[in-house]
Amino acid sequence: MSLKSAKKVETNTYELEIEVSGKDFMDANLKAYNKNKNRINIPGFRKGKAPLSIIEKMYGKDFFYEEAMDILFPGLITEAYEKAEINAVDNPYDYDVKEMGEDGVLFTVKVTVMPEAAVSDYKGIEAVKGTTSVSDKEVDDDIERLRDRNSRTVTVEGRAAKDGDIAVIDFEGFVDDVAFDGGKGENYSLTLGSGSFIPGFEDQIVGKNAGEEFDVNVTFPEEYTPELAGKAAVFKVKLHEIKAKELPELDDEFVKDVSEYDTLDELKKSIREEMAEHKAEHVQKDFEQAVIASFLDKVEVEIPDVMVTKRAEENIKDYENQIKASGFDLKMYLQLTGGDMESFTARMHEEARKQVKLGLGLEKVAELEKLEVSEEDYEQEYKKIAEMYSMDIEQVKAVITTEALKPDILNKKAWDFLIANAVALEEKAEKKAEAKPKAVPKAKAAAKKKTEKEDKKED
């Protein structure tokens, strides 16, 4: 067996010409005979006892040739890859036999190889890095959210309803003086300004007093249910009660009730520190993503479609598993979220192309910078995997070789190298003035989301 030639026929594609000696091919032919003889019936012979020569005389010399090549092929390809120093990214294709017989075999195959990436100017990539400072307003806003979470609801007397109040109402809706299904409720608690009801409904309760009965005139949106879409409706409403939130006093006693601290100053200091830590994490992550986005523009490589397809299939499978864990299948999930399989698949392929390009670019940086993997690096990676899957570290080592770990570790080192050598730019003044999501401790995230919605309504 020998590799006669390996020539590049197009980008990332090589054609291999492989030769098999007559002896090797006939040995494989004999193995094919022994493997299949028990399934062949020849008149005058017990099943499985017919000699090879008799079978070949009846069915032809080439009767076992295809099976013989199946036996030889994996070893032939592995040896050819090693001799040609080829890193294949897919199975060989366009198998073409030039000669086949007792004197041996000569055939060609094509193979898609790992592309070679080129990178430039990857040191000193500039990217904006936001500030981690926390303003007094951010701290005060977080404390207000804490007060809101600890508020109590009280009945309001002596004034009309306003945005933010909870109106306890009876209502019934009519279209053309006919009541419609689902348009009636009793003692319903509606937060005014929440946008829970049809546009315009809540606005017409504002200004009304407890005990009043009145009509609310609205028009159903065009995207509403077909039987009501775009139709004018009248709701008969009775306002039973107006409720409002009563916030606790902001003092040291409140602080002791809701936290582990004794004074308001201590609480503010804690909130500021948590916010700064949270911001630092997000600022660093955003900075790294900006650096990597710029780095991708500096990577030049022609990526074989098969690499993108494989990565996209892996991503889609991972996504499906996540969806299944929530009790849905992918098709149902896309329907519920207004998506479709075609656009979803296209999006996954686009993301896969970026991932493959990034991986190839990082590999090139690791090569250019002569990055290496130490024994300590391997141990840390094994430990991380063991903790992730709750396995003994020796079990992990028995399943995963260091060679399997090496590419990912090198890519991580290359990523760290790019970030360490990047240049952080300050945000421009006008950018700082833009509204940005506030970073708050995880424990306060849910309340933050709710409060921001209410703030928007008040604006």
Look at strands 423-425 and 126-128 and give their pairing. Answer: parallel
Within-domain flag for 142: no
Which structure tokens are listed for 357? Answer: 């390009």
CA angle at residue 305 from 304 to 311, to 5 degrees?
A: 105
| Residue 235 belongs to domain spanning | 152-246
14 and 158 inside one domain = no
Residues 163 and 264 in one domain: no
Domain CATH for 311: 1.10.3120.10
Residues 272 and 363 in one domain: yes
Question: Given this model, what pLDDT does residue 407 score?
Answer: 95
Q: How many CA atoms lie within 13 A of 452 on its CB side?
A: 14
Q: Give the count of beta carbons closer than 10 Å to the beta carbon of residue 120.
A: 8
pLDDT of 339:
84
The structure tokens 């952080």 sit at 424
pLDDT in tens, 96-126: 999 999 999 999 999 999 999 999 999 999 9
Residue 131 located in a structural domain: no
pLDDT for the residue 424: 96
Same domain, 83 and 195: no
**So what's the pLDDT on residue 286?**
96
Residues 265 and 290 in one domain: yes
Statement to judge: residues 335 and 444 lie in one domain: yes
Structure-token match 């709701």, residue found: 235
What is the structure's pLDDT at 444? 34
Q: Same domain, yes or no, for 232 and 303?
A: no
pLDDT tens-digit map of 221-232: 988 888 899 999
Nearest to 290 by CA among 427, 94, 445: 427
Pick from 333, 337, 335: which is nearest to 325 by CA? 333
125 in any annotated domain:
no
Q: Which residue has the tokens 């990912």?
A: 408
CB atoms within 10 A of CB 311: 20
Domain boundary among 64, 95, 113: 113
pLDDT computed for residue 15 by the predictor: 97
Give mean pLDDT, residues 290-303: 97
Choosing from 222, 246, 270, the residue where a domain stops is: 246
Write out pLDDT tens, residues 228-286.
999 999 999 999 999 999 999 999 999 999 999 999 999 999 999 999 999 999 999 99
Whether residue 457 is predicted with pLDDT greater than 90 in this model: the reply is no
Instruction: Identify whether residues 439 and 320 lie together within a single domain.
Output: yes
Same domain, 437 and 291: yes
80 touches 16 (CB < 8 A): yes
415 and 303 both lie in a single domain: yes
CATH number of 60's domain: 3.30.70.1050
Structural domain includes residue 118: no
Q: What pLDDT digit, counting tens, does each position of 325-339 carry?
A: 888 888 888 877 888
CB contact at 8 A, 183 and 192: no
Total count of domains within the chain: 3
Q: What is the pLDDT of residue 227?
A: 86
Residue 282's Cα: distance from chain center in Å? Answer: 18
Cα 182 from Cα 258, distance rounded (Å): 41
pLDDT by residue (tens digit) across 165-201?
999 999 999 999 999 988 999 999 999 999 989 999 9
Asked whether residue 454 carries a pLDDT value surpassing 90, the answer given is no
Looking at residue 216, its pLDDT comes to 96
Average pLDDT of the residues of the chain: 91
Integer-rounded Cα radius of gyration of the chain: 36
Domain assignment present for 145: no
Q: Are residue 108 and residue 158 in the same domain, yes or no?
A: no
Structural domain ending residue among the three candidates 200, 219, 246: 246
Predicted confidence (pLDDT) per residue in 365-405, tens digit: 999 999 999 999 999 999 999 999 999 999 999 999 999 99
CATH number of the domain residue 200 falls in: 3.10.50.40
Using the predicted structure, report yes or no on whether residue 441 has a pLDDT greater than 70.
no
Q: Which of 354, 352, 357 is nearest to 316 (CA)?
A: 352
Q: Are residues 167 and 87 in the same domain?
A: no
